[in-house]
Amino acid sequence: LDATVGAGGHSRLLLQGDPEVRIIAFDRDDRAITAAQSQLAEYEDRVEFFHSDFREAPKLLKGRRLDGVLADLGVSSLQLDDPESGFSFRRSGPLDMRMDRRQSEKAADLVNRLDERELARIIRIYGEERHASRIAAAMVTARRRAPITTTGELAEIVRGAVPRAGVGGSRIDPATRTFQGLRIAVNGELEELDVFIREAGEMLRPGGRMVIIAFHSLEDRIVKRTFLALAGKREVNRQLPELQNAPPLLRILTRKPVRPGAEELERNPRSRSARLRAAERV
Ligand SMILES: C[S@@+](CC[C@H](N)C(=O)[O-])C[C@H]1O[C@@H](n2cnc3c(N)ncnc32)[C@H](O)[C@@H]1O
């Protein structure tokens, strides 16, 4: 199961590597499904596509057994680089951020509807942004004049609200964290990730492996804690009481997350925050 097929890069390597491999490919973005279908055209008879949230996979694939599960979480370069998707603060576009265009609520709806406290909460918790209150206040002031409708406007509001980093400060755009927070909220990215990990783990054959790549610490914390709980670590089970008496389902293969090395960072700077964790079905 490639839970996040994106443009099909990972699936392609798996298909190339072994003529026996068959892939069930999920993505909630129809543009990704179209891109992956064309990228993987030569392997057509070995790939089955589902335009769906991967959290639906256990239900949709009921009774099927898997040898491997891969989830490369978050947004793809396709999405980030397309101003029309509304994720980019570098090139202005509609304030959208939906991965699945069938969903009705866009980032602009949240930004113009939520009260200041709720906006601040999303930006602080999901964006891990220290200046969340100031940013939320600036958003509310701006939208009184006119609704905020583009990523460019929002980025300017955020940049105006946060203190400038001094010389030698961070070179990361001040809008980065706010955009991350809104994106996570719009797409419900952290919801039921733990349930998916457990259900997908149950679909693995003994010896089958699950590999998850997370791109921010909130997501990685969920992966780490869920792996530990499913590996029968009592300490963590106290926090996930429903797993209290369950026998271990997984064995953790990565005591620490695997990070990109210098060469990979050079080739693909977007890998900088990736953390990969793997586990095996016992
Ligand atoms: C980092 S990209 C994956 C790139 C892919 N591994 C490749 O090699 O091209 C993440 C993809 O996951 C999709 N995605 C994120 N959350 C999802 C979810 N809950 N269900 C299905 N797809 C999701 C996004 O739409 C995006 O296309």
For residue 170, pLDDT beyond 70? no
Distance from Cα 261 to the centre of ligand 1, integer Å? 22
Distance, first Cα to last Cα, the chain: 18
- Mean pLDDT for 67-93 is 93
Question: How confident is the model at residue 48, as a pLDDT?
Answer: 98
At 4, the pLDDT band (50, 70, 90 cuts) reads very high
Using most ligand atoms within 8 A of CB, pick from 1, 4, 190 the residue to mutate for ligand 1. Answer: 4
Residues 212, 25, 261, 127: what is their CA dihedral angle, to the nearest 10 degrees? -60
Residue 147 CB–ligand 1 contact under 6 Å: no
At 266, the pLDDT band (50, 70, 90 cuts) reads very high
Q: Which residues contact 267 (CB under 8 A, 6 or more apart)?
A: none
Using most ligand atoms within 8 A of CB, pick from 14, 47, 76, 213 the residue to mutate for ligand 1. Answer: 76
Distance from Cα 169 to the centre of ligand 1, integer Å? 32
At 168, the pLDDT band (50, 70, 90 cuts) reads low
For residue 208, pLDDT beyond 90? yes
Question: How confident is the model at residue 157, as a pLDDT?
Answer: 97
Question: How confident is the model at residue 205, as a pLDDT?
Answer: 98
In whole angstroms, give the CA distance from residue 280 to residue 282: 6
Q: Which atom from ligand 1 is nearest to the alpha carbon of 78?
A: 27
